A and B are shown apart, each in its own frame.
Chain A
Amino acid sequence: MRQIDPDFLALPLRRLADAALNRARELGAEYAAFRVERVRAETLRLFDARLEGSIDADDLGFAVRVVKNGTWGFAAGIALTPEAAVAVAEQAVQVAEVSAPINREPVELAPEPVYADVTWVSAYDVDPFDVPLREKVELLGEWSGGLLGQVDHVSASLMQVKEQKFYADSAGTVTTQQRVRVHPQLTAMKGDGERFDDMRTLAPPVGRGYEYLTGTGWDFPAELATLPALLAEKLAAPSVESGKYDLVVDPSNLWLTIHESIGHATELDRALGYEAAYAGTSFATFDQLGELTYGSKIMNVTGDRTAEHGLATVGWDDEGVRAQSFDIVTDGTLTGYQLDRRMALLKGFGRSNGCAFADSPGHPPIQRMANVSLRPAEGGPSTDELIAGVENGIYVLGDKSWSIDMQRYNFQFTGQRFYRISGGKLAGQLRDVAYQATTTDFWRSMDAVGGPQTYVLGGAFNCGKGQPGQVAPVSHGCPAARFRNVRILNTVQEGGK
């Protein structure tokens, strides 16, 4: 297992924590937490095999969050000195005091065992920040160059993040963690004089290191070799006829539908209205826990922060809660929510399931999404077997456009590739396809779940939530699955053409 970088450990982490936590206690805080965080991110972008831009950036700072007289107070600073830590602790208490007159709900947190001094590092082999920029540019350039000539343009990008966190709270928990994630993407573009279209790689972002680009976890050369012909077929494909179709949805598309229609809908802060003015609420209201028929009987969904290579995977969350795995939908029924410590106590769960996360040292932790995943069927069908069960339908691969309403009822998704299914077999690509449904209608229409051989961990770096806005990385594992009688739109007709 890799170790936490010595230069992060060399920061005066414990000295700052002691200074901040002691000052917060002196000022009467009932609870205080201190966090030092460094997020290093490098992004490079190529267009037609030439480097267009790159930036190697970090965000280093610290934060103090307190509860004083039942009110949150949060402050963040950048100078890593004991004097600054004390001053920021004082600011956090001041913020709590200024805010107290408009707070009518005293803050209390669910209990959690103390973890005195624990360390966790995510599963990766090669730190992407140890790989020279030139080597990365050459690899993406080589991949792009292999496509040029067969397509008109190629864009390529690589995002790499290393996140290091030190957390200490007034109960005595001290955690130090480091995790790495990468997201390579290539998009091929081509026009035929009348139409212009593109096709992106399906390779998901992962909690791995640079080894992901060199053969571990994905075969990029093999996928890239297929793109020109697939794009040419898409350009020449017939436009879909709108109507109701059976769908077989590949994990490369279904992860996003899970994210939007299950992941966000089962965040308890949303369900209770705390996000009502911004991200929205949820149709899956708390009174329906244990009652709501979310989907068909074969639907089983878990939340976890423990899956290897998962983007939301950690050792401990940003409130010092140990990472866990928990049920969200069981045999089609809503059985759980994602929680932080405040929400857990508020609704009598006893303990948080570890979903607090802050995306930077300048932001407070809020309840964020675990890796929310659809369980495959043991001994379940292959994708071909799922397709074989469709007389007139569409097979969907890859995510593209997505949108869902503020209570997570009505959604609309497009994809990278759509294939007509006729008589249980694929019958060529279709264009201009979007599927539109209501969440519970969609999941109740699921009549088959693929086996473990179809399971893929998809995800995104940039799930947005909260005000001020925060982004979180999250993975969603799922098998291929089949849905009956789903509304398909023709996007050209939707545009009034």
Chain B
Amino acid sequence: MTPQETVERALALPGADDRVVIVDEGSSANLRFAGNTLTTNGVARSARLTVISISGAGVGVVSRSAVRPDQLADVVAAADQAARDAQPSEDARPLVEGFVQADWEVPAEPTSIEVFSAFAPALGEAFATAEASGRKLYGFAEHLVNSVFVGTSGGLRRRYDQPTGRLELNAKSPDMTRSAWAGVATKDFTDVDVAALDGTLARRLDWAKRRVDLPAGRYETILPPGAVSDLMIYLYWSAGARDAADGRTVFAKPGGGTRVGDQLSSTPIQLFSDPRHPGVECVNFAVAHTSGREQSVFDNGLPLDHTNWISDGTLANLIQTRHSAELTGLNTTPQIDNLIMESATGSGTLEDMIANTERGLLLTCLWYIREVDPQSLLLTGLTRDGVYLVEHGEVVGEVNNFRFNESPVDLLGRLTQVGTSEQTLPREWNDYFTRAIMPPIRVPDFNMSTVSQAN
């Protein structure tokens, strides 16, 4: 049974007033390595049917994997029954108006271990080069293809095929005291130059041969695009309109309402999502398997378009469903699976920013980021895999790691330089979010709260 047939058959069964049927077909291939050798690997397939039944304003959701044709009616009946038993849903709205996407009937194309046919030998060569040069390589390469098919009893038929690839490459000295990291997002691994990445890491391990111990404190700090992405993604995830309207987050206005319209930064920052943005294309309609604070099953199929979250430094929109948009009187702006940050006045590469630094720290990435206070969005976490001291425009050595305590919202108001944006791989969040375009930024007083002994 093809995903499209599953959708049609589930919708055709008698029962509920309305239904939304989602089929997710996934395939994956991965290689993991440590100490210049492979450690684990695998390929996997998945197929999940989610039936969302609507009875009056009641909703029932049942999701099952590997459903056979003879089991389909049972899954639908279970969802129908759950809908009849449910309380009325406050996010109930008419289903999104139907149309059939032109490529609806095209079969899904899975990935396989063959996606690494050129990459794996190159990785093997990198292992040999690293071993000969006294470096150990660690990391992970993964390729996923997820195809989602959404159909509704209102006639909507939409699908999207999402390839997602990522490579994390970590080089360490044999005694594990020096460490450097690089990561790339890719659609198919044909554009991954593992030798070049290894060369970059080798240079950074050389930087780390001179060690400079610094105490905790506030430092002028250059954050590369990857580190910026991890902070901005957390800001984005915290931008739910309902939580803001309820007073729970940094985007709540004291006394009630949201901070939409507030200036967060005097720098003309743009933070936006766009499912058609080149290089980070992603699903261009809403997909919700269950309702929650920031998504509604009734919005399934809703078109997604360019959405500004911060425009010229001012908070422009929050993550909304149609229901929460009505409650807050703001735009319907659902979450989108990519994030882009730019500045109209931003220019210069990371190297340019290093060259223009009298004395400061250069980070590689941030790690174990957790929220300390939702009211200020204070986050804590660690620096990782290379904190470098920059003096007179050059990297002069490696500094110890730190625990930081910082709010990304507060940082937007304090940054003094924004460079040119580029596609990057978030280090902390790439299990969940890989499509990001971010600039390097300079912060004059990044709060390094305490020293971490970790290498």
List of B residues within 8 angstroms of A194 by Cβ: 254
A396 contacts chain B at the CB level, 8 A cutoff: no
> Is B454 a contact of A59 with CB atoms below 8 Å?
no
Docked complex: B129-167 residues within 8 A CB-CB of A: 136, 138-140, 142
**Nearest-CB residue, chain B, relative to A96:** B41
Taking CB atoms, residues of chain B closer than 8 Å to A76 are 42-45
Are A59 and B65 also in contact (CB < 8 A) when A95-B42, A405-B454 are? yes
User: Is A58 on the interface with B (CB-CB < 8 A)?
Assistant: yes
Query: Which residues of B lie under 8 Å from residue A436 when comparing CB positions?
Result: 403, 449-450
Q: Which among A98, A189, A196 is the interface contact of B120 at CB below 8 angstroms? A: A98
CB-based contact B42/A102 at 8 Å = no
* Chain B residue contacts of A99, Cβ below 8 A: 31, 38, 41, 120
Contact B63 A55 (CB under 8 A): yes
| B358 CB-CB contact with A under 8 Å | no
Q: Is the CB of A406 within 8 A of B454?
A: yes
Q: Mark A268-293, 1 if CB is under 8 A from B, else 0.
A: 00000111111011010000000000
Q: Does B41 lie within 8 Å of A74, measured CB to CB?
A: yes
- Residues of chain A from 385 to 410 with CB closer than 8 A to chain B in the complex: 401-410
Chain B residues positioned under 8 Å from A105 (CB to CB): 35, 37, 39
Interface range on chain A (Cβ under 8 Å from partner):
35 or more
| Contact pick for A53, options B169, B181, B291, CB 8 Å | B291
In the complex, the answer to whether A276 meets B170 with C-beta atoms within 8 Å is yes
Comparing B330-338, B374-382, B418-426, the segment that makes contact with chain A is B374-382
Tell me if A61 and B65 are in contact (CB < 8 A).
yes
Interfacial residues of chain A within 62-85, with CB under 8 A of chain B in the complex: 63, 71-80
Asked whether B272 is an interface residue with its Cβ less than 8 Å from the other chain, the reply is: no
Interface pick from B80-88, B96-104, B273-281: B80-88
Residue of A with least CB distance to B405: A494
Residues 316-351 of A, flagged 1 when their CB comes within 8 A of B and 0 if not, give 000000000000000000000000000000000000
Decide yes or no: A132 and B85 within 8 Å by CB, A273-B138, A406-B382, A414-B372 being known contacts. Answer: yes
Q: Determine how close the nearest CB of chain B comes to the CB of A3; give it in whole angstroms.
A: 22
Q: A132-B85, A401-B372, A410-B403 are in contact. Are A47 and B293 (CB under 8 A)?
A: yes
Residues of B contacting A366 in the complex (Cβ-Cβ under 8 angstroms): 40
Q: Pick from B46, B123, B246, B255: contact of A362, CB below 8 A.
A: B46
Contact across chains for A277 and B181 when beta carbons are under 8 A apart: yes
B244 to A: closest C-beta gap in Å: 11
Q: CB distance A468 to B142 under 8 Å? A: yes
Assembly CA distance A362 to B47 (angstroms)? 11
CA distance A103 to B45 in the complex (A): 24
Q: Is the CB of B455 within 8 A of A276?
A: no
CB distance from A7 to the nearest CB of B (A): 11
Q: Tell yes or no: A101 within 8 A of B by CB.
A: yes
Across the interface, do A492 and B140 meet the contact criterion of CB distance under 8 Å? no
Q: Inside 8 A of A283's CB, which chain B residues have their CB? A: 453-454
On whether A491 and B44 interact (CB within 8 A), knowing A133-B82, A273-B35, A496-B410, the answer reads: no
**What is the bound-complex CA distance between A362 and B66, given in angstroms?**
12
A75 to B28, CA, bound (A): 10
Q: Do B290 and A50 touch (CB < 8 A)?
A: no
Q: Does B72 contact A (CB under 8 A)?
A: no
Minimum distance in angstroms from A256 CB to a CB of chain B:
11
CB contacts (< 8 Å) of A101 on chain B: these are 120-121, 124
Q: Is the CB of A495 within 8 A of B42?
A: no
Q: Is A191 an interface residue (CB 8 A)?
A: yes
- Scan residues 211-260 of chain B and give those whose CB is less than 8 A from a CB of chain A: 246-248, 252, 254-255
Expressed in whole angstroms, the Cα–Cα distance for A158 and B403 within the complex equals: 34
A-B pairs under 8 A by CB, number: 265
Residue-wise, chain B 384-412 has the 8 Å CB interface mask toward A (1 for contact) of: 10000000000000000101011100100
Judged by a CB distance under 8 angstroms, whether B18 is at the interface is no
Interface residues of A in 155-204 (CB under 8 A from B): 189, 191, 193-196, 198
Question: At the interface, yes or no: A51 with Cβ under 8 Å from chain B?
Answer: yes
B93 lies within 8 A of chain A by Cβ: no
Residues of A within 8 A of B116 (CB): 98
* B-chain residues with CB within 8 Å of residue A280 when the two chains form the complex: 454
Residues of A near B300 (CB, < 8 A) are none
- Known contacts A94-B113, A491-B405; A102 and B38 CB within 8 A of each other: yes
Across the interface, do A58 and B63 meet the contact criterion of CB distance under 8 Å?
yes
Q: Quick check: is A434 within 8 A (CB to CB) of the other chain?
A: yes
Whether A226 is near chain B, meaning CB under 8 Å from some CB there, is no
0 or 1 for each of B42-58: is its CB under 8 Å from A? (1 = yes)? 11111110100000000
Known contacts A364-B40, A494-B449; A51/B86 CB under 8 A: yes
Task: Decide: A495 near B373, CB < 8 A? Known: A196-B252, A276-B34, A438-B453.
Answer: yes
Contacts of B34 in A (CB 8 A): 273-277
Contact partner, B41, options A72, A134, A402, Cβ 8 Å? A72
B interface residue count range (under 10 / 10 to 19 / 20 to 34 / 35 or more) = 35 or more
User: Interface digits, B286-315 against A, CB 8 Å rule (1 contact, 0 not)?
Assistant: 000111110001000000000000000000
Complex Cα spacing A52 to B181, Å: 41
A157 CB, min distance to chain B CBs, angstroms: 10
- Expressed in whole angstroms, the Cα–Cα distance for A436 and B404 within the complex equals 12
- Bound form: Cα–Cα A283–B452 in Å: 12
Asked if B247 and A91 make an inter-chain contact with CB atoms under 8 angstroms apart, the answer reads: no
**Complex contact B140–A56 (CB within 8 A):** no
A27 within 8 A of B: no
Q: Is B32 an interface residue (CB 8 A)?
A: yes
- Residue contact B140 to A102, C-beta cutoff 8 Å: no
Chain A CB within 8 A of B30 CB: yes
State how many angstroms separate the Cβ of A42 from the closest Cβ of chain B. 10
A368 CB–B CB distance under 8 Å: no
- Check: B90 CB closer than 8 A to any chain A CB: yes
Whether a CB of chain B sits under 8 angstroms from the CB of A25 is no
- Whether a CB of chain A sits under 8 angstroms from the CB of B431 is yes
Q: Is B285 positioned at the interface, with any CB of A under 8 Å from its CB?
A: no
Q: Does A454 have its Cβ within 8 Å of any Cβ on chain B?
A: no
Whole-angstrom distance from the CB of B230 to the nearest CB of chain A?
13
Query: Which residues of chain A come closer than 8 Å to B32, judged between CB atoms?
Result: 467
Q: Chain A residues with Cβ under 8 A from B31's Cβ?
A: 99, 102
The verdict on A234 contacting chain B, using a C-beta distance below 8 Å, is: no
- In the complex formed, the residue of A with least CB distance to B249 is A196
B33 at interface by CB-CB < 8 Å: yes
Residue of B at shortest CB range from A407? Answer: B454
A153 close to B (CB within 8 Å): yes
Give B82's nearest chain A residue, CB to CB: A133
Contacts A74-B42, A273-B34, A410-B452 hold; do A495 and B142 have CB atoms under 8 A apart?
A: no
B189 within 8 A of A: no
List residues of chain B with CB within 8 A of the CB of A406.
367-368, 382, 384, 454
CB distance from B180 to the nearest CB of A (A): 11
Q: In whole angstroms, what is the CA distance A189 to B374 when docked?
A: 13
Q: How far is the CA of A271 from the CA of B69 in the complex (A)?
A: 48
Residue among B66, B136, B291, B451 facing the most chain A CB atoms (10 A cut-off): B66
Judged by a CB distance under 8 angstroms, whether A236 is at the interface is no
Cβ-defined contact, B369 with A497, below 8 A: no
User: Is B356 engaged at the interface, CB distance under 8 Å to the other chain?
Assistant: no
Cα of A58 to Cα of B75 in the assembled complex, Å: 11
Instruction: Tell me the smallest distance from the CB of A143 to a CB of chain B, in Å.
Output: 15
Q: Please give, as numbers and ranges, the residues of chain B lying within 8 Å of A152 by CB-CB distance.
A: 246-247
Cα separation A476 to B142 with both chains bound (whole Å): 32
Interface residues of B (CB under 8 A from A): 28, 30-48, 50, 61-66, 78, 82, 85-87, 89-90, 113, 116, 120-121, 123-124, 127, 136, 138-140, 142, 168-170, 172, 176, 179, 181, 246-248, 252, 254-255, 289-293, 297, 367-373, 375-376, 378, 380-382, 384, 401, 403, 405-407, 410, 431, 447, 449-455
- A-B residue pairs in contact (CB < 8 Å), sample of 21: A45-B292, A47-B293, A50-B87, A54-B61, A58-B64, A76-B44, A98-B120, A104-B37, A134-B85, A196-B247, A404-B368, A405-B382, A405-B454, A407-B454, A410-B454, A434-B380, A436-B449, A468-B28, A469-B431, A491-B373, A495-B376
Query: Which 4 residue pairs across A and B have the least CB separation, nearest first?
Result: A74-B42, A277-B138, A277-B170, A57-B63
Having A56-B61, A405-B384, one finds 9 other A-B pairs with CB under 8 Å, namely A56-B78, A77-B44, A102-B33, A104-B38, A283-B454, A362-B28, A362-B45, A363-B44, A403-B403
